[in-house]
Amino acid sequence: MIDLSFLILPCILIIWEIFYIFKEKKTSTILKHIYEHHT
């Protein structure tokens, strides 16, 4: 059985980031940090 916690957490983060971007019209520090870390 797959542990859903590994899927739920990223989904919550993605949804939160999308909500934050539309609300603040900018990228939050979390998304920016992840983006800069992987590039």
Q: Is the confidence at residue 2, as pLDDT, over 80?
A: no
b/e sequence 8-33, b meaning 16+ C-beta within 10 Å: eeeeeeeeebeebeeeeeeeeeebee
Structure tokens at 9: 């957490």
pTM greater than 0.85: no
- Please count the structural domains in the chain: 1
Under 8 Å between Cβ of 28 and 20: yes
Domain coverage including residue 19: 5-37
pLDDT, one tens digit per residue, over 22-34 is 777 665 677 777 7
pLDDT at 8 over 70: yes
